[in-house]
Chain A
């Protein structure tokens, strides 16, 4: 134990000296010996040096000295002396080179602007499609993928995507949504459909983050908020800070404060209102039309109520080598101008529908936290034997029946353990691989007590 403390203390000192360029010859030998003898020391060394490197990369002024040879054609084939001066005149030369480089890149090659990474993916799961500004389509997104401007599209109710801009601002989409991002000195998001939430770091003065939808423009200086966009209206909900909202049709503008929301639509006044009381009951009401549901809407026919039928989504090869198809439908719950629906431990969820061919069905819910953060997707699988071909069915689930979607297991620590107490963002059902003809006529949230 004593010996462990001794080498750790010694390593600690050596690491400090290393990054401050004050290692003696003896120190160097000792550093090598500690790393060789202690596997844990190697890990500490790597982490410390990675951090130091990341700080230099993130906070430091780029050093272009090492590019001298490449840019100056007179010296490009000469062998460099072993050691080069650093600092003083070389900083000036580096600055000139940097300026030259940037003139070349940004004046003569303005198209390169779009290739600079402006954000990176921090979390994701489910079917997603990224289309870069150049039109390149990428389905093989991964955590850490750096993005320049482009459009992210959630292709199914189980899509979830979080990105972080270079300044630390975060944007999340979950479910069927389509969001375009860009940052050419000022961040701009265009929500084409669906919804997203964001936690925005303070933006440079005079350059607020701009969020555009078909019907509104929101200007954000630094806050936490979410936006839902429909064809003719957009709803902005502000959790922290303040956002300026402009209705595009008439240019009217309002400021929306924390815990307020505003609906920008032609048929209602642009007035911020306090968030409505949350509720614990909810019903799908498919008879009111397709609305923002994801699926094929079938109108009521005689005794047959309105239905929502699954639509196919074929998985990309990276997720499923056989590229099989999920047949899915979903309904938004706490979205748009609807009140927030909270799940309570006693909440029960009833689903009514029918299926053409007996098949196992997955029933799921997507939940978010009060501040808009994604909290997880929970699901239940019911075997085929419970659903007869061509027959209607009714199933009722308790919240305790729902389990975290296994595809989110790697994020489980940061997601909710159970859905209760959280906001119900959406409900969904699907069958895997076969077009079983699943149709849902009603989903209802039944809770004994009001909040």
Chain B
């Protein structure tokens, strides 16, 4: 499998986005990782069909969707978080809202900049580190439960901030 540098670059840049895409549809970190590996293999096998300059991410997500469907068939029903119906609803809404996604990311940057340094530090620890909540709790002298609550509140705060900025933009 001869992969061009550009393809590897696109693929490596798409990893986090693809993982988020899968996690949202599978609601299980391990399952999302497994499907991500399968998706990566398929993408590489089909590398020669990818046209340079086109939207790699969109192409990768289409492949990932097929891999989700195939993967779900291999799992016992009790291991799936979502029914077919809910999965379809998530997908439909995601497509409908996709034009707003880019704008949300822009607003996220601003909202992160507007956070207090203490809150921002906590988010950085959670998302930049190994994600170990017990370690974060130890470092900041708090319980794991308190850290979880705090992080959850920060995410909600960011969601509100983004929503407000979107409203101001008239979107």
Q: How many A-B residue pairs have CB under 8 A?
A: 189
Contacts of B146 in A (CB 8 A): none
Which residues of A line the B interface, CB within 8 A? 12, 15-16, 18-21, 23, 25, 28, 31-32, 35-36, 42-43, 45-70, 73, 76, 80, 82-84, 86-87, 91, 98, 101, 104-105, 108-109, 112, 115-116, 120, 122, 136, 143-144, 164, 168, 201, 410-414
B17 CB contacts on chain A under 8 angstroms: 53, 57
Ranked 6 nearest A-B pairs via Cβ: A53-B20, A144-B102, A413-B170, A59-B127, A109-B5, A16-B152
B139 within 8 A of A: no
Pairwise interchain contact A83-B12, C-beta atoms closer than 8 A:
no
Interface, chain B (partner A; CB < 8 A): 1, 3, 5-6, 8-9, 11-12, 15-17, 19-21, 23-24, 27, 29-30, 33-34, 36-37, 40-41, 44, 53, 78, 81-83, 85-86, 89-90, 93-94, 97, 99, 101-106, 108-110, 112-113, 123-124, 127-128, 130, 132-133, 148-149, 151-152, 155-156, 158-159, 162-163, 167-171
Chain A residues near B158 (CB, 8 Å)? 51, 55
Chain A to chain B contacts (Cβ below 8 Å), 11 pairs: A19-B155, A28-B81, A36-B86, A36-B89, A49-B23, A54-B105, A55-B108, A58-B105, A101-B12, A105-B5, A201-B113
CB-defined contacts of B109 to chain A, threshold 8 Å = 58, 164, 168
Residues A52 and B103 in contact in the complex (CB < 8 Å), given A32-B81, A66-B15, A101-B8: no
- A55-B123, A108-B5 given; A168·B133 CB < 8 A: no
Chain B residues in 8 Å Cβ range of A62 = 12, 15-16
A60 close to B16 (CB less than 8 A):
yes
B3's nearest neighbour on chain A, judged by CB, is A70
Distance A112 CA – B4 CA, assembled complex (angstroms): 11
- Inter-subunit contact A104/B8 (CB<8 Å): yes
**From residue B129, how far is it (CB to closest CB) to chain A in Å?**
8
Among candidates A35, A53, A414, residue contacting B168 with C-beta atoms closer than 8 Å: A414
Q: A45, A57, A86: which contacts B20 (Cβ < 8 A)?
A: A57
> What's the minimum C-beta distance from B45 to chain A, rounded to whole angstroms?
10
- Majority secondary structure of chain A interface residues (helix, strand, loop or mixed): helix
- Chain B, Cβ-Cβ closest to A52: B155
Complex interface: chain B residues within 8 A of A105 (CB): 5, 8-9
Known A20-B148, A36-B86, A115-B6; contact A64-B168, beta-carbon cutoff 8 A: no
Q: Whole-angstrom distance from the CB of A33 to the nearest CB of chain B?
A: 9
Q: How far is the CB of A392 from chain B (nearest CB, A)?
A: 41
Partner of A144 from B16, B40, B101 at Cβ < 8 Å: B101
In the complex, what distance in Å separates the CA atom of A54 from the CA atom of B27? 16
Question: Other than the known A47-B163, A76-B41, A112-B5, what 16 A-B pairs have Cβ atoms closer than 8 Å?
Answer: A32-B83, A43-B93, A53-B19, A54-B20, A55-B158, A58-B109, A59-B128, A62-B16, A66-B19, A67-B11, A70-B11, A98-B12, A101-B8, A105-B9, A168-B113, A413-B169
A46–B94 CB distance below 8 A: yes
Nearest CB of chain A from residue B113's CB, rounded to whole Å: 6
Cβ-defined contact, A80 with B82, below 8 A: no
Q: Is the CB of A46 within 8 A of B93?
A: yes
